[in-house]
Structure 1
Amino acid sequence: MPISECCNIGVVCCEANASIPQIAQLMRKHHVGDVVVIRHEGSARIPVGIVTDRDIVIETVAEQIDMDLLTAGDIMSSPLITVHENESFAESLRLMRHHRIRRLPIVDEKGVLYGIVTADDISHLLTLELSMLTTTMTEQPAAERQARR
């Protein structure tokens, strides 16, 4: 299965000059823990970094730095690890594990932002898949008994 089939295409984004309070407001408004930092090439959104709620805490709050003094560009994780939209689910997991990241932006063949997949998204998907498998396994004996009557 390509990763594009299970990603979130509603990616919350900002530019590198966005202030930390602006990023925090985006996170709160959209109920997310990350904002992808982009640059524009015409109408295309090219991902260049990512800011997480943890970045804000570690880089500003814990250091007691005035958040108005820093921008997304100052604290974003970069270079950004991305995956192509047609890459497999398994390869995407491998990349996340290898780079020890919980969020993986997805790009098209031109490097334009397509979506994002998070460890939470994957955990939710796998939980649903396992639930369906468990249901099948528990219902199969009853279905077999019914068919053999």
Structure 2
Amino acid sequence: MAIGEICNREVVFAQRETTVLEAARLMRQHHVGDLVVVDEDGGKRVPVGIVTDRDVVLEIVCMELDASVLTAGDIMGLELATVRENEGVFETIRYMRAKGVRRIPVVDARGGLVGIVTLDDLVQILAEEMNELAKLIATEGRRERQTRYA
């Protein structure tokens, strides 16, 4: 299955110049723990970074800095990992693990933002798949008992 089929396509995003205060308000308004920082390029949004609620707390609040002056571009990570929408789920998981990231923007062939996948999303999907496998095991056992021992 391609990661583009399961990614969340309703991505909350901000520009580099969005203040940290506004970024925090966006996270609260949309009930998310991160924002994808984008640059506009020919009508498409190109992800350039991520700002998390943890970044806001550790980089701004704990340091007693002014969140109304500093920007998303000031606190986003310098290196952003992304994955193409046609990449497989397990390849995406391996890549996230190798990069040590809990969330990853999904991009199209031109680098435009199409969605985001988080560790939580992947765990939920894998749990659902494991549940279906467990049901299969139980069904197979019942069928065998009915046909062989009946």
Q: TM-score w.r.t. structure 1 length?
A: 0.94
Would you say how many aligned residue pairs link Structure 1 and Structure 2? 149
User: For residues 17-48 of structure 1, what are the alpha-carbon distances to aligned partners after superposition, in whole Å with 9 as ceiling and x for unaligned?
Assistant: 11112111111121111100011123211111
In the alignment, the residues of structure 1 paired with residue 32 and residue 140 of structure 2 have an alpha-carbon distance, to the nearest angstrom, of 39
Whether 1:115 aligns to 2:149 is no
Identity over aligned pairs, percent: 47
Superposition RMSD in Å: 1.2
In the alignment, the residues of structure 2 paired with residue 131 and residue 29 of structure 1 have an alpha-carbon distance, to the nearest angstrom, of 33
1:83 is matched with 83
Measured after TM superposition, the shift of residue 147 of structure 1 is: 4.0
Matches within 5 A, 1:127-146: 127-146=127-146
Q: Is the 8 A contact 1:23 1:72 kept in 2?
A: yes
Counterpart code for 2:47: P
User: For residues 63-113 of structure 1, what are the alpha-carbon distances to aligned partners after superposition, in whole Å with 9 as ceiling and x for unaligned?
Assistant: 111211210000011321101111111221111111110011011110000
In the alignment, the residues of structure 1 paired with residue 104 and residue 61 of structure 2 have an alpha-carbon distance, to the nearest angstrom, of 25
1:29 is matched with 29
In the alignment, the residues of structure 2 paired with residue 109 and residue 43 of structure 1 have an alpha-carbon distance, to the nearest angstrom, of 15
In the alignment, the residues of structure 2 paired with residue 147 and residue 111 of structure 1 have an alpha-carbon distance, to the nearest angstrom, of 55
2:42 is matched with 42
1:10 is matched with 10
